[in-house]
Amino acid sequence: MEKLLQSTLFVILIMATKCGSGTAQSQHHESNSQLDPDPEFIGFINNVTYPAGREAILACSVRNLGKNKVGWLRASDQTVLALQGRVVTHNARISVMHQDMHTWKLKISKLRESDRGCYMCQINTSPMKKQVGCIDVQVPPDIINEESSADLAVQEGEDATLTCKATGNPQPRVIWRREDGEMILIRKPGSRELMKESYNGSSLRLLRLERRQMGAYLCIASNDVPPAVSKRVSLSVQFAPMVRAPSQLLGTPLGSDVQLECQVEASPSPVSYWLKGARTSNGFASVSAASLESGSPGPEMLLDGPKYGITERRDGYRGVMLLVVRSFSPSDVGTYHCVSTNSLGRAEGTLRLYEIKLHPGASASNDDHLNYIGGLEEARNAACRRHTRWHPLLATLLLLLWMRTNLRAGGA
């Protein structure tokens, strides 16, 4: 009985000793914990800016981490990206580098515009400690075709707006230029006309359009992130044809070639042709199907061939119609019409071709077979230069007398 009591007291003593020892160890640990400094950040996380496609790195430095852990999160939605040196997101472009005992680096490769934002470096203390660093992703400009103007056609006198929408980071600057290098005509309500080499802004407003404003306009978007981009917008200003004959009265000797010219302005591009001997209807020369079928006298539509050389040159909305009458003969004397027509109207120019009679034995030289294509003054001067035996005053009187006789005969 006594031995059993002694044994029990020993066990109790041992337990008491262990408890006392454990309490002492706990107190010692608490004392040491109070002596250890708390984790703290070293400096700040620098914000960074990189072009899309490059690599971005955010560095977070911590001292006295102890048994705590460092994690990286996306600040906007608190998504955990990495814990200590282990990546926990499924984004293969994200990695963590822990190159020394104090610094954890978050690396994002092949940057996308969606990576723009702020990221949080967090220590799991109580309360939690954190720092935030931000990544700005530069994106080169891009023009949104769906929100920008396509080629357009506007009638003369109306207004037009050319629009160019661009995206990018930083927000792109948009300027307009003319492709041909000409100045841009700007009109504002209640102000005078302004001529500018370029125009700043995504929308170019053109008031009361004129034909000289027709052409291609370039929208150029840039934001210092190469490359800049551009879009070409073609502006067509439409109007009815206008025809002008620089020389309406032309004279030449028999046997020579003579060239008739008409200057045309029209948009859209016109259909142009030459008529000879036409009678005008409502001020315009015309060819009727009835007159052609009946064989009655009427205008003759001239075609390119051995007798007539017909060409047309165009430069934008301007054009030149040329008719060369070869081997001029008495049957070629008469009225010629250059006609131009498009969907908005019709116009014509009228030219009269007459014969310049030379003195007996003279003939037109092949070297200057197109010299006699001017009006009365040009024809008189040409005749005087070629035939010095004629007195200039006599040549002029004879020419006027001949024209008067022909005009009376035509009126009869």
SS3 292: helix
Topology of domain 40-139, per CATH? Immunoglobulin-like (2.60.40)
pLDDT at residue 189, as a whole number: 77
**What residue has token string 């054009």?**
319
**Are both 40-139 and 245-374 of the same fold?**
yes
- Assigned architecture for domain 144-239: Sandwich (2.60)
Confidence of residue 100 (pLDDT cuts 50, 70, 90): confident
Topology of domain 245-374, per CATH? Immunoglobulin-like (2.60.40)
Tens-digit pLDDT profile for residues 172-229: 999 999 999 999 999 987 778 899 999 999 999 999 999 999 999 999 999 999 999 9
SS3 65: coil
pLDDT at residue 37, as a whole number: 86
Q: Is the pTM above the cut of 0.85?
A: no
User: What residue spans define the domains of the chain?
Assistant: 40-139, 144-239, 245-374
- Tokens for 312? 């047309």
Tens-digit pLDDT profile for residues 345-401: 999 999 999 999 887 665 555 444 444 444 444 444 444 444 434 445 555 666 666
Across the chain, what does the average pLDDT equal?
A: 83
Tens-digit pLDDT profile for residues 231-278: 999 999 999 999 999 999 999 999 999 999 999 999 999 999 999 996
Tens-digit pLDDT profile for residues 8-53: 322 332 233 333 434 434 444 444 445 578 999 999 999 999 999 9
Q: In what order do the strands lie in the sheet with 103-108?
A: 40-41, 56-63, 103-108, 94-97
Percent of the chain with pLDDT over 70: 73
Distance CA(297)–CA(293), nearest Å, equals 11
- Is the model more confident about 6 or about 61? 61
The secondary element (H helix, E strand) that includes residue 398 is helix 392-411
Apex 123 CA angle, 122 and 127, nearest 5: 105
Distance CA(17)–CA(20), nearest Å, equals 5
Confidence of residue 151 (pLDDT cuts 50, 70, 90): very high
